[in-house]
């Protein structure tokens, strides 16, 4: 049991929630009730889970010294010495091969997208994360590739406004995480992540507001330009207030609770969980229910 717990920590299993973006095209393309598309979407989700865990292992190995100086990250299996670097590399290779095998169940375009996601993250790990602004842009691009990959897996096209919404929503969450890091690490921020020396709370506040606003506008434009895709597409615009509340609640958590890690906040803030479930129920009802 302890080994499984350490393995889950090494693979960063909690972070797999981010890969739910892979299922966005399945959901909005009204393919959720199609068994073939559902299975393909799940395969794509699993493949992204595997390759993202490879990325996390590579990141933990390359950042081992910095992580040992971090108050929370020093407890991860590799910097804590619970799992050796050699063992971690073996696990990473197995996961990488398994992700490639999953691609054989899908199609070549999905494989290209998954490969692009992996290469993007390798570039981020060794260069991108050290360049201010570019570091968060790389993270946001990774989320966009998740959505595009999910679309390719089920042979649909990810719409421009969904891509725009995903990109700016990811920027919003990414800048929120950076803000949390500079507050939590204070004067030691540069020793953990050098790029944090170039950020300050005021700059990040502005970037958070800008990306949050554009994310809301992009989603609103999606609801207005795709009304003919669903039975109740003309009513999808009424979900914008729920999305707005969801994002504003996240801002509240950032400011008042000094939290910012998207995964931790989304898994533990009950109000955000409730708003997310409400949004899911309403959107499912509008997309999949008969016209009314």
Pick 14-157's CATH classification: 3.30.230.70, 1.10.357.140, 3.40.50.800, 3.50.50.60: 1.10.357.140
Q: What is the pLDDT of residues 69-118, one digit of tens each?
A: 777 777 788 887 888 889 989 999 999 999 988 888 888 899 999 999 99
Domain ranges of the chain: 14-157, 159-292
Question: To the nearest whole percent, how much of the chain has pLDDT over 70?
Answer: 92
Pinpoint the alpha helices (H) of 12-132. 24-28, 35-62, 64-68, 85-103, 108-126
Q: What is the pLDDT of residues 14-31, one digit of tens each?
A: 888 889 999 988 888 888
Listed in sequence order, the residues at least 6 apart from 200 whose beta carbon sits closer than 8 Å to its beta carbon are 182
The residue with greater pLDDT, 95 or 1, is: 95
Residue 32 pLDDT > 60, yes or no? yes
Q: Work out the mean pLDDT of the chain and round it to a whole number.
A: 86
């Amino acid at each position: 049991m302890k080994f499984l717990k350490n393995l889950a920590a090494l693979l960063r299993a909690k972070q797999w929630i981010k890969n739910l973006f892979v299922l966005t095209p399945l959901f909005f393309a009204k393919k959720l009730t199609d068994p073939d598309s559902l299975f393909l979407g799940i395969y794509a989700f699993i493949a992204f889970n595997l390759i993202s865990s490879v990325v996390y292992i590579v990141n933990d190995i390359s950042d081992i010294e910095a992580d040992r100086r971090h108050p929370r990250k020093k407890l991860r299996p590799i910097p804590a010495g619970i799992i050796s670097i050699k063992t971690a590399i073996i696990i990473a290779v197995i996961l990488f091969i398994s992700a490639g095998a999953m691609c054989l169940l899908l199609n070549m375009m999905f494989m290209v997208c998954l490969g692009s996601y992996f290469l993007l993250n390798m570039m981020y790990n060794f260069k991108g994360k050290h360049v201010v602004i570019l570091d968060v842009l790389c993270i946001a691009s990774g989320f966009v590739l998740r959505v595009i990959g999910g679309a390719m897996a089920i042979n649909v096209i990810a719409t421009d406004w969904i891509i725009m919404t995903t990109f700016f929503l990811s920027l919003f969450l990414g800048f929120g995480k950076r803000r949390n890091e500079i507050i939590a690490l204070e004067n030691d921020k540069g020793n953990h992540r050098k790029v944090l020396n170039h950020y300050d709370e005021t700059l990040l506040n502005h970037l958070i507001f800008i990306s949050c606003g554009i994310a809301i506008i992009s989603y609103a434009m999606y609801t207005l330009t795709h009304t003919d895709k669903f039975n109740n597409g003309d009513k999808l615009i009424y979900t914008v207030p729920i999305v707005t509340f969801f994002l504003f609640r996240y801002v509240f958590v950032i400011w008042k609770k000094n939290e910012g890690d998207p995964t931790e906040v989304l898994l533990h803030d009950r109000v955000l969980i409730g708003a997310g479930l409400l949004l899911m129920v309403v959107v499912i009802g509008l997309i999949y229910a008969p016209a009314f």
